[in-house]
Every structure is written in structure tokens, then in C-alpha cells.
């Protein structure tokens, strides 16, 4: 972690500033803390492989003791959370191998970490809607300036989109392994903080211009406290905005339901700045339409009753609430490839792709991607090569916009 993070980091329990305990084992230079212990008036927390762990569960306490003993490798294994000796060995070997891929390390960490479908995430319907909303909201609120927070951001798939619009970005999640993967593959320049979204966030009041949570809110029990913390994170900032993407609707069953609220229930959580709410079905239609996404539409709780998922925005920036031209995806420094949802065959100087879902469950959950992913595509190798050199040929611009061609982090699979 960059030591500048200490300026906005606060203890979740006493609210105090944190400092590196220089009398204990640490690996740090003038600008970064790699491993060590940071302390406030009430607690000590470990920094493990550049990630501060701002909670006090059993793994955190064990990792702190291991850091104090100078055993950084053991602390990393503790926080990554692999218990079997075989998986520990596999993880350590891959972690030490600069060529190891995200997919290999996820496999080594076990099947539960990312679920089965992370490979396809950059073209799945939930992602493409969230991406367009983030481009619209963060593009308007931040416009390349300010600090953004992505809470429950996992291994950073959507953080990559957010980070393009901010001067600096913090990714927070309870699962250390996801944060470790995010820093290695997805968003290396983003600060990662391991913390629990059910208790006060470990950040100073008003540290952020935009606080976001995507596809996780319905799994949090302390929803009232969470919205309070999101609001506190942007309090006093003239453009301070809270954005919650893909919150399931209690009124409509979905395969990974969580503990969602009704539209009225979500609205009720926003006490200071009222939230505007959008049904994801309408936003999805906007994205498929390919022109603009309309955050100016007014949808009542009755209108939203049939929507499986909702987007909530609380912003003092009036320009957020209007139509936003859809942006063609841009590079974050990764590799442009045909979506892994396509089975590819080489045909001379072209490659042909046929849409193939990994299984019936994927098709059930995400089959609406057929609205923008054609069944068959043909792409010239030269056009794909040129795209990876920074030039988008007109022939493939539409395929990029439709997420047939996606930009994957380097060494993703
Ligand atoms: Zn404290």
C-alpha cells in the first residue's frame, strides 16, 4: 500500500488514524508498506502483501501474529484462506511464477472463490449494464478527477471501469484472496483494503467523491448501516455520489437472490440525499439499443415492481440524471480478444467464432446476452492485431461496442 492511503484510512472501531508500528517487523520504504502492523488507539491491524486488513476475524489476528514474527509468506497463506497443504503449495508456486494466469490461481484457490463464470464476466449482461452505468455516472461526477471507492468489489472486474474515471481508486472487499488477485491482474494501480461491509467502513468521512457497490448489496444484512457508510464516505464532497448497481428486487425471484428489499424498501434507506432508482431491464434495452443510456427516466416503485434488479443513484450532480451517450469500451492495458463465450476456428487470415454457452445454467442466468452477441462472427486477424496496437478498424468497432471483442486483463486465462 502507498503510505498516502493512511491519510484516509481510519479504524472501523475507534475512528482513529493509523500509523505503521516501526518497532515491530515491517517491510516498507518511503512510499509503500509491503508488510507490517498498523495501529490506532484501540487496535492493531496487519498489512499483508500491500493490503491492509481492517477487521479482527480469526485470520486477521493469526496473520498479524505471523507478520510480527516476520513470516510474511505464512501471513499471506492465512489471509488467502487455503487450508489444504496441496492447495497451499500450488498457490505459492503460482504466486512466485510471473507467467501464472488469473484462471490458474483462481483454480488453485478452490472452486468457491469466483464461481464458475468469471471467465465470461466481461461480456455478461450484468456487466455490460453496470459498465454503461459506471461510465455515465463516474464519467459525469468524476471526469478523471477525484477519488472513487468500490465496496464489495471482489477481484475488481467493474473496478477496472470505475478506475478509468478517477484520479485514484480504492477497492474494498471482505475476501482478501479476491483483493490479492485484483492487485496482481485486474487493477494493479488501485489501492486494496480488506474490510467488512457490515461495520463502519475504515475510511475518513468525505474521503471519496463517488462510492459504488455492484452486485453485492442484497447479500449484506446491515443495509441501513451500509448506506449510511456509503453516504458518510462521500459526505461534504460537492459532487459526492453513491451508486449501487444490480441490487436484486424482493418482488422478483432470481437464482442468486440474497436478502433483497422491495423498491420502496431500498428507497427508504436513503435518508439524506434521495436515491433515484432504475430498473435494469430498461437500462439493458438502452445498452442493446447502442445509442445512449437514459438516467433521466422516472420510474415509480410500481413501475419497478417487475424488475429483477435495480440500480440506485444518490447524487447532487444534476447532469447525472439524463441521457448519456454510450461509450465504446477503451483499453485498461490488457489484451483485446474475442469473448471466451465464442468457440474459435482459424480460417486463413480470419478467425470465425460461434457462440457457445459453457452450460445450461449459464444460458439460464445470462442467455439474454444473445440480444447483443451474434451467433456467428468473423474477425480479420489484422484488425484484432491493430486493435491491440491501439488502432480500432471501423470493421470491428461495432463488435467492440457489442462486447463480442472484449479487453481482458493480461494473463487472464
Ligand atoms: Zn481503533
For the stretch 20-53, pLDDT in tens is 999 999 999 999 999 999 999 999 999 999 999 9
User: What pLDDT, on the 0 to 100 scale, is given for residue 119?
Assistant: 85
* 353 DSSP β-pair partners: 344, 377
Distance 29 CA to ligand 1 centre (A): 24
Convert the pLDDT of each residue in 195-206 to its tens digit.
Answer: 999 999 999 999
Distance 294 CA to ligand 1 centre (A): 43
Distance 20 CA to ligand 1 centre (A): 13
Q: Give every CB contact of residue 8 below 8 A, 6+ residues apart in sequence.
A: 147, 170, 203, 204, 207
Distance 67 CA to ligand 1 centre (A): 19
Distance 388 CA to ligand 1 centre (A): 47
Q: Between the CA of residue 390 and those of 71, 335, 362, 376, 384, what are the distances in Å?
A: 43, 11, 32, 25, 10
When pLDDT is cut at 50, 70 and 90, the band that residue 367 belongs to is very high
Instruction: Please say whether the beta carbons of 367 and 86 come within 8 A.
Output: no
When pLDDT is cut at 50, 70 and 90, the band that residue 118 belongs to is confident
Could you say which DSSP state residue 53 is in? B
Instruction: Please say whether the beta carbons of 37 and 185 come within 8 A.
Output: no
pLDDT surpasses 80 at 167: yes
Percent of the chain with pLDDT over 90: 90
- Report which listed range, 44-48, 107-111, 391-395, is most confident: 44-48
Distance 12 CA to ligand 1 centre (A): 7
Sheet strands (E) in 58-179: 147-151, 168-173
User: What pLDDT, on the 0 to 100 scale, is given for residue 334?
Assistant: 93
Distance 15 CA to ligand 1 centre (A): 6
Closest Cα partner for 24 from 60, 68, 64? 68
* 242 DSSP β-pair partners: 211, 314
Reduced to 3 states (helix: H, G, I; strand: E, B; else coil), residue 300 is coil
- Average confidence (pLDDT) over 92-96: 96
User: What pLDDT, on the 0 to 100 scale, is given for residue 332?
Assistant: 87
- Entry pTM: 0.96
When pLDDT is cut at 50, 70 and 90, the band that residue 183 belongs to is very high
Distance 44 CA to ligand 1 centre (A): 8
Instruction: Please say whether the beta carbons of 128 and 105 come within 8 A.
Output: no
User: What pLDDT, on the 0 to 100 scale, is given for residue 193?
Assistant: 98
Distance 48 CA to ligand 1 centre (A): 19
Distance 39 CA to ligand 1 centre (A): 7
- Average confidence (pLDDT) over 183-211: 97
Distance 49 CA to ligand 1 centre (A): 22
Helix axes 85-95, 102-109, angle to 10 degrees: 160
pLDDT surpasses 80 at 311: yes
Distance 18 CA to ligand 1 centre (A): 8
| CA atoms of 228 and 215, how far apart (whole Å) | 18
Helical H runs in 346-393? 360-366, 381-388
Distance 227 CA to ligand 1 centre (A): 22
- Average confidence (pLDDT) over 110-133: 87
When pLDDT is cut at 50, 70 and 90, the band that residue 336 belongs to is very high
Question: What value does the mean pLDDT of the chain take?
Answer: 95
User: What pLDDT, on the 0 to 100 scale, is given for residue 117?
Assistant: 80
User: What pLDDT, on the 0 to 100 scale, is given for residue 274?
Assistant: 92
pLDDT surpasses 90 at 178: yes
pLDDT surpasses 80 at 9: yes
Distance 37 CA to ligand 1 centre (A): 13
User: What pLDDT, on the 0 to 100 scale, is given for residue 13?
Assistant: 97
User: What pLDDT, on the 0 to 100 scale, is given for residue 273?
Assistant: 84
Distance 40 CA to ligand 1 centre (A): 5
When pLDDT is cut at 50, 70 and 90, the band that residue 234 belongs to is very high
When pLDDT is cut at 50, 70 and 90, the band that residue 110 belongs to is confident
Amino acid at each position: 500500500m502507498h503510505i498516502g492511503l493512511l491519510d484516509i484510512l481510519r479504524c472501523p472501531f475507534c475512528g482513529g488514524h493509523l500509523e505503521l508500528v516501526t518497532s515491530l517487523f515491517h517491510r516498507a520504504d518511503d512510499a509503500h508498506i509491503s508488510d507490517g502492523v498498523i495501529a490506532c488507539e484501540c487496535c492493531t491491524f496487519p498489512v499483508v502483501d500491500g493490503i491492509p486488513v481492517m477487521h479482527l476475524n480469526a485470520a486477521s489476528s493469526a496473520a498479524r501474529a505471523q507478520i510480527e514474527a516476520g513470516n510474511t509468506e505464512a501471513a499471506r497463506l492465512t489471509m488467502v484462506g487455503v487450508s489444504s497443504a496441496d492447495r497451499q503449495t500450488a498457490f505459492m508456486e503460482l504466486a512466485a511464477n510471473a507467467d501464472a494466469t488469473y484462471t490458474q490461481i483462481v483454480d488453485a484457490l478452490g472452486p468457491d472463490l469466483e464461481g464458475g463464470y468469471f471467465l465470461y464476466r466481461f461480456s455478461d449482461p450484468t456487466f455490460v449494464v453496470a459498465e454503461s452505468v459506471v461510465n455515465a455516472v463516474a464519467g459525469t461526477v468524476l471526469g478523471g478527477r477525484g477519488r472513487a471507492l468500490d465496496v464489495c468489489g471482489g477481484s475488481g472486474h467493474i473496478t477496472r471501469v470505475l478506475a478509468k474515471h478517477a484520479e485514484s481508486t480504492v477497492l474494498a472487499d471482505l475476501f482478501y484472496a479476491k483483493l490479492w488477485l485484483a492487485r496482481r491482474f485486474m487493477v494493479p494501480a488501485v489501492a486494496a483494503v480488506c474490510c467488512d461491509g457490515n461495520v463502519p467502513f475504515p475510511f475518513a468521512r468525505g474521503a471519496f467523491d463517488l462510492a459504488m457497490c455492484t452486485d453485492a448489496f442484497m447479500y449484506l444484512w446491515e443495509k441501513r448501516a451500509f448506506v449510511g457508510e456509503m453516504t458518510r464516505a462521500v459526505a461534504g464532497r460537492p459532487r459526492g455520489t453513491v451508486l449501487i448497481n444490480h441490487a436484486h428486487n424482493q418482488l422478483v425471484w432470481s437464482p442468486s437472490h440474497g436478502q433483497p428489499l422491495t423498491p420502496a424498501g431500498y428507497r427508504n434507506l436513503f435518508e439524506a440525499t434521495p436515491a433515484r432508482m432504475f430498473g435494469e431491464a430498461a437500462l439493458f434495452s438502452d445498452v442493446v439499443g447502442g445509442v445512449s443510456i437514459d438516467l433521466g427516466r422516472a420510474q415509480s416503485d410500481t413501475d419497478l415492481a417487475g424488475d429483477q434488479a435495480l440500480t440506485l443513484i444518490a447524487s447532487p450532480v444534476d447532469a447525472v440524471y439524463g441521457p448519456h451517450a454510450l461509450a465504446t469500451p477503451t483499453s485498461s492495458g490488457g489484451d483485446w480478444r474475442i469473448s471466451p463465450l465464442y468457440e474459435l476456428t482459424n480460417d486463413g487470415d480470419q478467425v470465425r467464432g460461434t457462440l457457445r454457452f459453457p452450460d445450461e445454467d449459464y444460458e439460464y442466468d445470462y442467455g439474454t446476452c444473445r440480444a447483443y452477441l451474434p451467433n456467428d462472427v468473423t474477425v480479420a486477424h489484422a484488425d484484432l492485431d491493430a486493435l491491440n496496437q491501439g488502432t480500432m478498424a471501423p470493421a470491428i468497432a461495432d463488435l467492440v461496442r457489442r462486447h463480442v471483442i472484449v479487453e481482458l486483463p493480461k494473463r487472464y486465462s
